[in-house]
Structure 1
């Protein structure tokens, strides 16, 4: 989490960029706007990363102790033209950049080139490229499209990812030039935040703003950061394969990278797999990964997880997703006997249990998964959904259920919950080197509906304290604070931590048994199990309190009637018919 000074810096940056960009692009709707802004943000990032690496190399060429040192004596001295020319030549060697996981940026895609040339092409034309690849550039849109095309050409990982449509935009070319100058002002120097942190924040902020602007459609690519953070904190994807079959813009992967970094891990210990049907969203996710330097496998193309699984043999250690709620007509082209439907065929009118079983199918034997679903998934018996839920419970796959407060999403008011499942509740050691106790036959219920705060008139959000409370409750319930048999069969001892030991809290959390769930007809709504919060005993007998409160209520009703009569009298005196 950022500190106060960092957050203030980022907030001021957000306001500046959004306000300025809105002034420059008043004629574009949100679906076009996001590509204009995010494409330029992407270009700025890869160019800046390239420039930072170039500066590092320049210093290394001049450092005698470094393996890349270029001895000035071999080129006529430090101030000779030959020496400077040699450094310039070496700086254009691709291998120096790719070895440091920095994208190679061709000269015609570098930000200083775009800034210098965008003024020129408004009134004239320039030539770029060499030989048969030489072309004339006559507009700023063409200048930007050419930059994106050249990056894709030199970086096969990005083939088909970048949205090269600036030439087609029906906007004033001068405004597009001003936008280039605006993005150039993003400050990538801060005493505690890295350039990647700043640009990643800008990218995420714009995704959120576009989700608000586009309404329901925007929800296809954006999940509130706090919910993503909660699932990541609870699952702790520290090492192994991480998979999201409905990845949107890749928010779960971004938060996983942040989690790993905060815990001094290595992002190289995690393999990222994702799938997305919407082509636009698939592009945004790939750009999101590149901006953060995260390697990824999003399949060969955008595709449906149901009919064109891009990772059919994947068995992931962590599966996380926020699939579309209550998706209808999802099963066109899907066989009713599909091997994924091990616990029952999902109804065609609702994909909730199709998503859940698809994720289970791709879960490794010791893996853990968490997914957001509409609240109806916890209790619905429509067209076999109750039977599927019963089968999941009886096979002891459900580990934890979290009920969420309303108004968390920009695109829907449907109340939601989080399902956490695992194929192995036995005692074992996690990648974080925590020891889990045997939770066989147990399910944890957490009712988080009263957590959070209203950050504006329509949207609710969690504080970090809220996230920590839910996370610690879950981890405390799972942990073994005494002897535990590790995966190697050797007993290990963990010192008990009395501050972390789990306890049921009425109104908030309850550890239930499978027998408890059976008594409730396999309904998984946390409110059925956690009960009501304990009321504070103020020493007043219930009968006396009830008499006093009833008398107070009667007095308040009488006062209300008196005020209503007084208002009517005053209105009648003013000539109003009441």
Structure 2
């Protein structure tokens, strides 16, 4: 029988190539090393594609004119920045300098890339030339234009981030949002037109998915504008690169900055907010700072011990008259006392909380903590809205909150993780949008439309299990049959353990080190 050859993905191939840099570069840096090079390859491939178009049109005299590239949303690549030049010099001792020069040159020639590309990064790393050359050869074999629908930069970034998170253990590395969750948020919010904001934008995944949502539903991406903020300088650059490479114009603030301490969008009123802020962020402000911040106006000051409600109020303050927000928080924010209770109660009484959606476990690489999607809506009153050519008649939902439990949903992903299927997302969105327009039936273990009176009786807790009916499956289990099944399984485990013990003793005896028990 012929031996089957394992198909290795682009992401895995790149990881294996980058892993050869171990020793001179930490694994957490791999994504930055690889993505800068992937950017050069992608930009060069697009540039060459446009060059070939101009030649086919008989416009050879325009081949080195910047405008003939930018008009097609293609970065102009000076000769010393093109991938072909990099590959020709891949074995040279100064290849790191040439890569840094290429990135600097591209940025200078393309204003939309200002602040996006690493500055003298490869030179500073002091990479082994032979290992860097091998990585360049690997990237050279990737056809970045082969599949227009494949998000190579995003895929590689997510893969590298997840590999680092898995290798370093839960809670380590940067935090990012799995695609199926971002897709769910976008499908529920329907961000067709207006300003989209993410106060903790990471590498820009929420924005990319918003554009993909609009394109998938034949909307016009020119109808939206992007605003974001990111604290980490390297991730801020990645976000700018990630968006620029897709032709997405965005205002990410003048610099990488802390959203609380240095708000880059103080006067912004957003129509859509999508976010995955850091969970349970502690000591986010000094005890005497930000107590009079206008973002908390009308509410208690968020406690210094946890930033969850600071993120909520930051987003609440940024919503336009009809603005909606969808964001992820740890389950601890759903209940609890003190200042958080006071803020949560006021949010509910102000009719801002529209839906609470609890997610399955094991959806994130970096943590198995239970998390929840919050949906806020500045206008839950009856109104008619035009969405992408369709009319939606929203009913008044000010005295209702929809609770949804998705823990029975999801499909296996990379063996031990879970992601939503397309059918899962459709079911959730259909239910949510139906509830916005009409009353719906409550479904055990899935959804419940609670009145504000019910929420008040439960002391303003937003824990979905307090409202959604639970089905006790144990009622229909034959106890004797179940115990016999467990008895058999346990006996098999004990037999396997005994055999393993025997095998281990035999190995030691054969080596001349008999173990006496």
TM-score (norm 2): 0.87
**How far off its partner does 1:565 sit?**
11
Of 105, 110, 117, 2:77 maps to: 105
Q: Distance in 1 between matches of 2:492 and 2:50?
A: 74
- Equivalences for residues 217-228 of structure 1 within 5 A: 220-228=174-182
Structure 2 distance, partners of 1:366, 1:394, is 17
Q: Taking structure 1 as reference, are residues 438 and 178 closer, same or farther at Cα in structure 2, changes over 3 Å only?
A: same
Paired residues of 1:220 and 1:324 also in contact (CA < 8 A): no
Q: Which moved more, 1:21-30 or 1:233-242?
A: 21-30
The partner residue of 1:315 within 269, 274, 282 is 269
Distance 2:464 2:419 in 1: 20
* 1:340 alignment partner, SS class: helix
Cα shift at 1:504: 1.4
Aligned-residue offset at 1:232: 1.0
Q: Tell whether the 8 Å contact from 1:368 to 1:420 is kept in structure 2 after alignment.
A: yes
Q: Which residue of 1 aligns with 2:35?
A: 38
Matching residue within 122, 125, 134 for 1:169: 125
CA gap 1:102/1:210 in 2 versus in 1, 3 angstroms: farther
1:249 corresponds to which of 200, 203, 210:
203
Corresponding position: 1:529 with 2:487: no
Cα distance in 2, alignment partners of residues 142 and 362 from structure 1: 43
CA spacing shift, 1:187–1:517, aligned 2, 3 Å: same
Q: How far apart in 2 are the matches of 1:265 and 1:204?
A: 26
- Pick one of 8, 14, 18 that aligns with 1:17: 14
Which of 347, 358, 362 does residue 403 from structure 1 map onto?
A: 358
- Name which of structure 1's ranges 228-237 and 562-571 shifts more when overlaid on structure 2: 562-571
The structural deviation recorded for 1:561 is: 10
2:284 is aligned, of 321, 330, 342, to 330
Match of 2:380 in 1: 425
Which of residues 357, 371, 378 is equivalent to 1:416?
A: 371
Show structure 1 runs of 5+ residues with no match.
1-8, 63-69, 71-86, 123-138, 481-500, 537-541
SS at match of 1:360: helix
**Of 426, 443, 461, the match for 1:468:** 426
Instruction: Give distance in 1, aligned partners of 2:493 and 2:165.
Output: 44
Deviation at 1:31, TM superposition (A): 2.6
Task: Tell me the CA shift for residue 219 of structure 1.
Answer: 5.1
The CA RMSD over aligned residues, in Å, is: 3.2
Cα distance between partner residues in 1 of 2:379 and 2:493? 64
- 1:239–1:564 distance in 2 versus 1, CA, 3 Å: closer
Query: Bigger relative contact order, structure 1 or 2, given CA contacts below 8 A and separation 6+?
Result: 2
Q: Which runs of 5+ in 2 are unaligned?
A: 1-5, 506-514
Decide which structure has the larger Cα Rg and report it: 1
Deviations along 1:229-262, one digit per CA (max 9) or x if unpaired, are: 1111111111110000000111100111110110
Deviations 1:332-381 (A, max 9, x none): 37321211113221110000000000001011110110110010100121
Kindly indicate whether the alpha-carbon contact (under 8 Å) linking 1:25 and 1:175 is maintained by their aligned counterparts in 2.
Answer: no
Which runs of 4 or more aligned residues in structure 1 lie more than 6 Å from their structure 2 counterparts after TM superposition?
556-572
Q: 1:389 aligns with which of 341, 344, 365?
A: 344
CA offset digits 1:47-77 (Å, max 9, x no partner): 11211222222223x2xxxxxxx6xxxxxxx
- Out of 156, 160, 163, the residue aligned to residue 111 of structure 2 is 156
- Does residue 292 in structure 1 map to residue 264 in structure 2? no
- Counterpart check, 1:506 vs 2:478: no
Partner of 1:484: none
- Give the drift of 1:103: 1.7
